[in-house]
Amino acid sequence: MAAKKIIGAVLGLGITFGFCVFVYAITNNKVVIGYNQNYEPTQPIPYSHALHAGKLGLNCKYCHTTAEISRHASVPPLNVCMNCHLTVRQVNGKDSPYIAQLVDAYMNDKPVQWQKVNLLPDHVKFNHAPHIKAGKQCQECHGPVETMDRVKQYQSFSMGYCVNCHRRPENNAPTNCSTCHY
Ligand code: HEC
Ligand code: HEC
Ligand code: HEC
Ligand code: HEC
Ligand code: HEC
């Protein structure tokens, strides 16, 4: 009996210790758990941020209107695209098949299945609003999107990545576990 209790206690301590080491490791970027960095899915229509946000200089918030006020920075509905593409149909003097695809989707009410690029696991709470309110630029977390033809996940979004920024004194952001976990 006594031997079993001792073995149980040792095992319990071992597991607790192991968990603490694990938490230390992920919090300090010793182990990076962030599976999605550089993920760059092909989109159903080759929409280019380099063209629209770079060359044409459109503001990010022209399309991602809810970043300031909500958890999600919504992807725009097609009528936002049609502000221009009701008339813009050509690229370099030639009809663009991709704009034709966009117009077809709009006219026939077929949603475009944009592939999600940035993805956090369900157990993590993230919200755009407090970051934008604190003056963080989109590029800090998403990189130079205005130079990307195709968007990719720029940062690891590992726990260490988030916590390191929260810890910087000028940010005054909370670091207790319940800030980011349910
Ligand atoms: C003309 C509209 C438009 C503008 C302007 C625009 N975007 Fe986008 N954005 C989109 C569309 C449409 C998608 C979905 C397709 C894709 O991923 O390319 C998207 C996707 C994204 C994604 C990936 C979303 C995901 O699935 O994780 C990020 C990040 C992003 N945009 C950031 C920005 C930033 C930063 C700017 C400003 C530099 C910007 N966007 C300007 C329309 C726009
Ligand atoms: C502090 C880091 C950070 C900043 C600043 C930030 N984002 Fe994000 N963004 C993220 C993360 C993390 C995700 C993935 C969220 C998820 O999966 O729940 C994301 C997701 C997105 C998405 C996909 C839709 C969604 O909300 O899940 C779009 C679009 C986007 N961001 C656009 C923007 C734009 C535009 C700005 C600037 C106005 C911006 N982001 C600023 C970290 C950030
Ligand atoms: C402010 C006006 C404006 C908005 C809004 C806009 N576009 Fe464009 N888009 C243009 C212009 C101008 C061109 C052609 C650029 C050129 O001649 O190189 C273009 C080109 C394109 C092309 C053609 C690329 C090619 O090489 O054939 C696609 C696809 C496209 N846009 C998709 C979209 C989508 C999707 C949206 C909405 C998320 C959108 N655009 C919103 C102005 C706009
Ligand atoms: C570039 C620095 C930076 C990065 C990167 C960052 N944050 Fe933040 N975060 C902040 C700042 C600044 C605040 C706002 C603090 C305040 O003023 O209350 C904040 C606030 C938050 C809040 C709201 C806290 C509250 O209760 O008020 C959550 C949740 C959050 N961040 C989660 C995340 C997650 C998850 C990630 C990683 C995907 C992340 N953050 C990455 C700087 C950052
Ligand atoms: C600023 C936000 C933030 C804070 C604070 C935070 N975490 Fe996390 N945590 C994350 C993110 C983001 C991930 C997901 C990384 C991934 O899987 O891509 C994560 C993942 C985890 C995981 C799972 C690793 C996995 O397999 O995905 C555990 C366990 C965890 N955190 C524990 C904690 C504990 C314990 C604390 C308090 C000491 C804490 N976290 C504080 C953001 C945070």
Tens of pLDDT, residue by residue over 7-52, are 677 767 766 666 655 555 555 544 445 568 999 999 999 999 999 9
Per DSSP, 72 falls in state S
Q: Indicate whether residue 49 lines ligand 1 (CB < 6 A).
A: yes
48 and 67 share a domain? yes
Q: Looking at 61, 90, 113, which one is the last position of a domain?
A: 113
- Name the residue among 123, 118, 124, 158 with its Cα closest to residue 138: 118
List the beta strands (DSSP E) in 3-96.
90-91, 94-95
101 and 146 share a domain? no
Tens of pLDDT, residue by residue over 65-118, are 988 787 888 899 999 999 999 999 999 999 999 999 999 999 999 999 999 999
131 and 179 share a domain? yes
How many A from CA of 49 to the centre of ligand 1?
A: 7
- Cα separation, 63 vs 177, whole angstroms: 33
56 and 26 share a domain? no
Q: Indicate whether residue 60 lines ligand 1 (CB < 6 A).
A: yes
Q: Which mutation among 99, 106, 145, 150 tests ligand 1's pocket best, with the greatest number of atoms within 8 A of CB?
A: 145
How many A from CA of 170 to the centre of ligand 1?
A: 28
122 and 169 share a domain? yes
88 and 54 share a domain? no
81 and 21 share a domain? no
Residue pair 98/46 in contact (Cβ under 8 Å)? The answer is yes
CA distances from 176 to 36, 129, 166, 167, 173 (A): 24, 19, 10, 11, 10
Q: Facing residues of 90 across strands?
A: 95
82 and 168 share a domain? no
86 and 173 share a domain? no
- Name the residue among 103, 91, 172 with its Cα closest to residue 134: 172
Q: Indicate whether residue 67 lines ligand 2 (CB < 6 A).
A: yes
Which ligand 3 atom is nearest residue 46's CA?
29
Tokens of 50: 């380099």
Residue with the bigger pLDDT between 15 and 128: it is 128
Residue pair 90/96 in contact (Cβ under 8 Å)? The answer is yes
Q: Which mutation among 64, 79, 101 tests ligand 1's pocket best, with the greatest number of atoms within 8 A of CB?
A: 64
Q: Indicate whether residue 127 lines ligand 5 (CB < 6 A).
A: no
Give the domain extent around 170: 35-75+118-182
Smallest-distance ligand from the CA of 44: 1
Q: Which protein residue has the closest C-alpha to ligand 5 atom 6?
A: 177
pLDDT at 5: 76
Assessment of whether the complete model's pTM goes beyond 0.75? yes
69 and 83 share a domain? no
- Cα separation, 129 vs 67, whole angstroms: 6
Which ligand 2 atom is nearest residue 118's CA?
14
Number of domains present in the structure of the chain: 3
